[in-house]
């Protein structure tokens, strides 16, 4: 019996993390962070195959507007996103669009609207690692253009823009990690720095998606729904409609003739 290599711990064509194997993954893939969002979006596909969940990775493949489509959750942050992207690519993925949420940093991006990321900045450790392999945090121009066009067809507000990614949800995004009334100023001004660099939003996976994808040969993009706005303090409490619209926009973008099969 063949031994599994520590440098390549796959067995019978199956990866060590994603709960799927050869033939299960479509060329077009959407990657939400939350595994529960895979379940939420499953009823929007036809002929769904559910491959189950392993750790933070839930995977389904079905048909959307006549095209085969996989949805695979990545979990939160860089390391798990890198694992998903690499294993998806080795299982046959060609194009990946991250679909998720972000906090807007400027007033004009209202909660429930959308950003098609054309570039990401940040200081995430995983992206730094993949820059050594030649990855850049830039989206495929075709994907970004197709996302904006698809949103317009659906009557949804979506603009291209640059976002900042961070490995930290609390401290690195100037969120409080102590009670509001303890009198301690914990602001670290990370958001001010991101705004000064031109970012219109902040989140945790776009820089990784674009940089890892670029390094390993995937065409990548990111479509983000505005779940919160740090300039106004608004927060989107019920985001189901936004999540479903992420699939509608990205699925329609994949249906574009410019985006391949």
Which residues are known to be catalytic? 17, 87, 175, 230
163 close to 203: Cβ distance less than 8 angstroms: yes
In this structure, the number of other CB atoms found within 10 A of the CB of residue 136 comes to 15
In this structure, the number of other CB atoms found within 10 A of the CB of residue 40 comes to 17
| Burial environment of residue 166 by CB neighbours within 10 A (0 to 12, 13 to 18, 19 or more) | buried
199 close to 190: Cβ distance less than 8 angstroms: no
208 close to 82: Cβ distance less than 8 angstroms: yes
Distance CA 134, CA 45 (A): 35
- Token couple for 202: 């902040």
């Amino acid at each position: 019996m063949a031994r599994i290599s520590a440098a390549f711990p796959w067995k019978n064509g199956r990866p060590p993390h994603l709960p799927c194997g050869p033939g299960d993954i479509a060329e077009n893939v959407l990657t939400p962070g939350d595994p529960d969002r895979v379940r939420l979006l499953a009823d929007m596909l036809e002929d769904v195959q559910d491959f189950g969940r392993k750790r933070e990775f839930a995977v389904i493949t079905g048909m959307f507007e006549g095209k085969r489509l996989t949805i695979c959750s990545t979990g939160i942050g860089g390391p798990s996103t890198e694992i998903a992207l690499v294993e998806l690519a080795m299982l046959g993925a060609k194009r990946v669009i991250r679909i998720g949420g972000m906090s807007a940093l400027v007033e004009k991006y209202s909660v429930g609207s959308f950003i098609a990321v054309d570039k990401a900045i940040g200081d995430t450790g995983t992206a730094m690692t993949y820059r050594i392999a030649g990855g850049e945090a830039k989206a495929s121009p075709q994907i970004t253009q197709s996302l904006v066009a698809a949103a317009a067809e659906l009557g949804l507000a979506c603009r291209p823009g640059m976002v900042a990614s961070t490995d930290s949800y609390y401290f690195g995004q100037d969120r409080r990690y102590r009670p509001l009334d303890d009198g301690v100023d914990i602001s670290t001004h990370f958001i001010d720095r991101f705004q000064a660099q031109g970012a219109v939003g902040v989140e945790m996976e776009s820089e990784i998606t674009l940089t890892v994808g670029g390094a390993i040969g995937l065409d990548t993009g990111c479509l983000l729904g505005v779940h919160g706005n740090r300039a106004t303090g608004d927060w989107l409490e019920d985001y189901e409609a936004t999540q479903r619209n992420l699939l509608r926009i990205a699925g329609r973008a994949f249906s574009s003739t410019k985006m391949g099969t």
